Amino acid sequence: MNYSIRHRTTYDYAEPVTVSHHAARVEPRTSPIQRRAAFDLRIAPTPALRKMRTDYFGNRVCFFSIQEIHQCLEITSESVVTVTASHGLSTRSRPSGRR
């Protein structure tokens, strides 16, 4: 089954901000039952610095820095994820074994 996912985070600051640093963990992971078919990350205002890496747990992290005066920050991620059925999952409500 295919899923289209859109996630948006908006920061509206009470006062203008001159510099801000962020780490966004919004990219879906690939696993034996989940495949990331597409991913796009948009940040406004445009970051002066933007760097991707994988953290210790296998999550993709986007580090970015806004180095201009801003009063609003918007982060939007759009993904397409394909999930396949796992035949190893049980639908029983209680574990098997002795009572």
Two structure tokens written together for 64: 């970015």
Q: Is 21 helix (H, G, I), strand (E, B) or coil?
A: strand
Return the pLDDT at 19.
Answer: 96
pTM of the predicted model as reported, rounded to 2 decimal places: 0.80
Q: Report the 10 Å Cβ neighbour count for 78.
A: 15
- pLDDT tens digits along 49-62: 999 999 999 999 99
The CA-CA-CA angle for residues 47, 19, 71, to 5°, reads: 85
Counting residues of the chain whose pLDDT is more than 90, the rounded percentage is 85
Return the pLDDT at 97.
Answer: 54
Distance in angstroms between the alpha carbons of the first and the last residue of the chain = 37
Residue 70 has pLDDT above 70, yes or no: yes
Using the 8-state DSSP alphabet, how is residue 29 labeled?
Answer: P
